[in-house]
């Protein structure tokens, strides 16, 4: 393992050297934000695909971003890649006393409960909010899920899922009223409330709303592209077709999935 990591660290140092790569030398922690985000999404896309080599490559690109930022931090005198690795090793050992200590847990539910308790103890020592560990830059649906999970673990939750569905229906009515008033700011607020309520339903049903929406996105793309292909065979474009024909083609695309 060290034989693989050492050359990577050496290459990074060479790229950042005075006679290294002009582009790499110009980068800052701020300028690397977008690249880090892109690499995360490319890893996620590779995870959904059938090619393990693609996943291996994308994980390498993501690792390079970690090495890159660690190198910049080292140049600032903050820490280096070894400190990053040592820090996560220490954290994993500390948060797994049932593996590396004398405690014994037998279910994943017990493990999650202990993990959250240990994190909560660390949070209280810092005087931070229970929600402080949820990054503000997470995708909105995922952040809503994590926020509601943490609040629920603290006891801030509905007693029954039925109550959350009632809340969803209430939010739909309020959103509809806001859109009827042509108040865009109010409509935006109510839409946010509705989405947050839907996330709470998903959480209580152990569903991942981010994954569910991504699945719906893929399904929509597939059906839309089948409509485009069908119209292309007729020598027409989608803009030239009336709503009734588009609906007919949409239903055909749905039927082809079920078949």
Q: Note the pTM of the prediction, 2 decimals.
A: 0.69
In sequence order, which residues have a C-beta less than 8 Å from that of residue 133 and are 6 or more positions away? 119, 123, 150
Distance, in Å, from the CA atom of 144 to the CA atom of 202, rounded to the nearest integer, reads: 11
Hey, what are 27's tokens? 């980068």
**Residues 83-124: pLDDT tens digits?**
999 999 999 999 999 999 988 888 998 988 888 888 888 878
pLDDT reported for residue 1: 57
Sign of the alpha-carbon torsion through 43, 49, 50, 51: negative
When computed from its CA atoms, the radius of gyration of the chain, rounded to whole angstroms, is: 25
* Torsion on CA atoms 206, 209, 212, 217, rounded to nearest 10: 180
Contact 87, 70 (CB under 8 A): no
Q: Which domains, from first to last, does the chain contain?
A: 2-94 (1.10.287.1080), 97-126 (no CATH), 140-207 (1.10.287.1080), 211-258 (no CATH)
Which regions of the chain are under pLDDT 70?
1-2, 258-259
pLDDT reported for residue 219: 93
pLDDT reported for residue 123: 79
Contact 146, 208 (CB under 8 A): no
In sequence order, which residues have a C-beta less than 8 Å from that of residue 5 and are 6 or more positions away? 81
Hey, what are 61's tokens? 């690109």
Nearest to 143 by CA among 196, 205, 186: 196
């Amino acid at each position: 393992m060290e034989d693989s990591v050492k050359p990577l660290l050496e290459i990074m140092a060479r790229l950042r050297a005075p006679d290294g790569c002009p582009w790499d030398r110009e980068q800052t922690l701020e300028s690397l934000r977008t690249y880090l985000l892109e690499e995360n999404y490319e890893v996620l896309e590779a995870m959904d695909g059938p090619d393990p080599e693609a996943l291996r490559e994308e994980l390498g690109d993501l690792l390079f971003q970690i090495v890159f930022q660690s190198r910049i931090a080292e140049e600032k005198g903050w820490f280096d890649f070894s400190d990053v690795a040592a820090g996560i090793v220490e954290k994993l050992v500390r948060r797994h006393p049932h593996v590396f200590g004398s405690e014994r847990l037998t279910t994943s539910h017990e493990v999650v409960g202990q993990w959250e308790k240990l994190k909560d103890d660390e949070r209280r020592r810092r005087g931070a909010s229970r929600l402080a560990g949820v990054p503000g830059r997470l995708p909105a649906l995922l952040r809503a899920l994590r926020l509601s999970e943490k609040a629920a673990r603290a006891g801030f939750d509905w007693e029954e899922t039925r109550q959350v569905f009632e809340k969803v229906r209430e939010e739909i009515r309020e959103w509809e009223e806001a859109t009827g008033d042509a108040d865009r700011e109010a409509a935006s607020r109510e839409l946010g409330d509705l989405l947050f309520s839907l996330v709470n339903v998903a959480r209580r049903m152990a569903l991942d709303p981010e994954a569910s929406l991504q699945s719906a996105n893929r399904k929509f793309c597939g059906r839309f592209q089948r409509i485009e292909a069908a119209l292309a065979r007729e020598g027409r474009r989608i803009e030239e077709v009336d709503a009734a024909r588009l609906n007919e083609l949409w239903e055909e695309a749905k039927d082809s999935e079920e078949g």
